Homo-oligomer: A and B are copies of this chain.
Amino acid sequence: MTTRIFDGRRRVDAIAADGRGVAYGDGLFETMRVHRGTVPWWDAHWARLQHGAQRLHLRLPEPRQVREEAADLFANDDSANDRGGVLKLIVTRGGGGRGYAPPAAAEPSWLLSRYPVPVAVADGLRARWCETRLASQPLLAGIKHCNRLEQVLARAECIEAGVDEGLMRDLDGNVVSATSANLFVFRDGRWLTPLLDRCGVAGVCRAQLLPALQAREARLDTAALEAADAVFLCNAVRGILPLARLGARAWPAHPAIAAARVALARRHPAFALDVEHP
């Protein structure tokens, strides 16, 4: 990992000790694929960040500076890994006192980090239903904020159970997403994806796939998901990840998923690689 830290426009050596990120998770983040020096759907990532910043009344850094610094972080790529990498941007409200009150004139603090692309999963993911539920909070639903204890707990369950991913429900039993991916379900010849008006993150890859697959948003319960003909998870780093097992339920490879991967590859060549080299 390589990380650069900024306070407003200035590059700094360290995260401020009075930072609101560490104190309250008072920030937003984006996790992006980098492919041959470009970020697929950069504008969509930035738009989601802006949407989150409006909800949290939080200032963002200058987008031009973020892009330039991100490009610089990947500039010395030796091409040994031509799949590129992963770029993570965290923006916090900056420094500011002991209390919850957001300072009126806080400069945002931000971090840019570079990571390798996770290894591809050849045969589809094994998942479980997480015991950890997602709380309903319409004010925070959809945005990619830094209050993620639910996901941390859910992910710990997956490790404990030895599965690749976990599917999460809200407290009413509605299926929402995986711990770090959205999900699509194929039923009766069409794609559905859970509504995210109460919780969950509205993924950038999900937003690409909604029109590409003519998918519909819906409330889904566990029975609806388990009865599906095919299920995949998706995010902007890994693209489409077919679900192979969920407890006792197994799904063989399905042509609708192969077609969805082709549709995603048409949206950005970064995800064509996954199709060619599974």
Query: Which A residues lie at the B interface, using CB under 8 A?
Result: 1, 3, 5, 13-27, 29, 31, 56-57, 86, 88, 90, 92-93, 97-102, 111, 113, 115, 132-133, 135-137, 139-140, 145-156, 158-159, 171, 179-180
Contacts and interface: CB of A to CB of B under 8 A. Distances in A.
Contacts of A135: 135-137, 140
B29 A23 contact: yes
Contacts of A56: 149, 152-153
B31 A98 contact: yes
A121 to B, nearest CB: 14
A81 to B, nearest CB: 16
Stoichiometry (number of copies) = 2
A178 to B, nearest CB: 10
A155 B111 contact: no
Given A86-B98, A147-B148, A149-B147, A15 B19 contact: yes
Given A31-B98, A101-B156, A153-B56, A146 B15 contact: no
Given A15-B19, A98-B88, A179-B100, A24 B155 contact: no
B113 A18 contact: yes
A150 B24 CA distance: 10
B111 A98 contact: no
Contacts of A145: 149
A155 B22 contact: no
B23 A90 contact: yes
